[in-house]
Amino acid sequence: MDLRALRYFQAVVEFGSYSRAAESLRISQPAVSRQVAHLEAELGRPLFMRSGHGVTPTEAGRLLFERSQAILRQVENVTSEIQGADTDLAGTLTLAVPPGAGHFLMPELVRRFRADCPGAFLKVVAGYSGYIHEWLIRGRVDVACLHGALPQRGFEVIPLVDEEVFLVGQPNAAPFSRGYAQARDLSELPLILPGRPNSSRRLLDETLSTLGITPFVSMEIDDTSMVRSLLKQGLGYSLLSQGAFVEYVARGELSAVPFRPGAYWPLAMMLSTTRQRSPLVDLLIATIRATVGDLVHSGEWPGLFPAS
């Protein structure tokens, strides 16, 4: 299977269009079409379905996309390591992080990592923890930061910080008048939450279940930006860590109150113990731990150090 064809195929999946993929690759559209056609002939399966709005991958296309991402990442790493053979700190790494945590972590982490590894390339992907866990299992990321990580054979979990959770909604909404929220409020307020596969939802359901409380879930949305848009329109409430809303509260677009007693989502690093770990991965892990520790200790990242 030709690596160039796989790269062209991935571009078509990502852009949903042969023409846009060709433009991003700076080659002609017929060249992209030929390479994808060669893949389809080799596999004996169509990889795309065409519509008036572009193309979408078939089931075979989705499977190839998932598997080829890990293959191409490994090839990129090998190439970078050989080209940078004079140093162990070369290569490409993919880090996954929830957007709220990334608000506090990424600026300082990028500064430190660039200073220590100027020859390395760091790719960052963001999403809910349920998706991040799946990306890690499928080998699409090297290091994952996620909420509510559970022990799992073949993976190491490194606790980082317990992030405080807030009730968030439209400014000056009635539930915010007393300055704090309680768990029982969640049975009465229309909540906009991620679906159950996601860790934050699992943590909430587990906590409320022990209290005998059933949350009033009016809508499930697996996208933080969409959730914020609905909150600003007064269409419900949500539970978010501070990094996901602090800028919007500062601009007066949202309000947020803590829970009494306090509620927290544990953030941890998770990585495979079955894949060979390069010195570059070890350095990224150490840099993440040091960065989180310094930000929490200084108060720049509100949260608690996990109990040892």
pLDDT at 267: 95
Higher pLDDT residue, 177 or 74? 177
> Looking at the structure, do residues 155 and 166 belong to the same domain, yes or no?
no
Nearest to 304 by CA among 241, 237, 224, 240: 241
pLDDT at 245: 94
pLDDT at 86: 47
Q: Give the chain's domain count.
A: 3
Query: The domain containing residue 221 runs over which residues?
Result: 162-265
> Is residue 308 domain-resident?
no
pLDDT at 120: 86
Nearest to 72 by CA among 6, 116, 23, 133: 6
Residue 308: which pLDDT band, with cuts at 50, 70 and 90? low
CB of 24 closer than 8 Å to CB of 15: yes
Which CATH number fits the domain that encloses residue 110? 3.40.190.10
pLDDT at 23: 86
pLDDT at 119: 81
Spatial distance between the Cα atoms of 111 and 236, rounded to a whole number of angstroms: 37
In the chain, % of residues over pLDDT 70: 94
> Looking at the structure, do residues 175 and 256 belong to the same domain, yes or no?
yes
Letter for the amino acid at 124?
V
> Is residue 307 domain-resident?
no
> Is residue 305 domain-resident?
no
> Is residue 304 domain-resident?
no
Spatial distance between the Cα atoms of 2 and 35, rounded to a whole number of angstroms: 9
pLDDT at 169: 94
**Mean pLDDT of the residues in the chain:** 88
The model's pTM is: 0.72
CB of 98 closer than 8 Å to CB of 146: yes
pLDDT in tens, 30-66: 888 999 998 899 999 899 988 777 888 899 988 888 7
pLDDT at 196: 81
Would the pLDDT of 85 be above 60? no
Nearest to 66 by CA among 123, 136, 1, 127: 136
Would the pLDDT of 83 be above 60? no
User: With the CA atoms of 209, 215, 218 and 222 taken in that order, what torsion angle do they form, in degrees rounded to the nearest 10?
Assistant: -50
CB of 55 closer than 8 Å to CB of 21: no
Residue 157: which pLDDT band, with cuts at 50, 70 and 90? very high
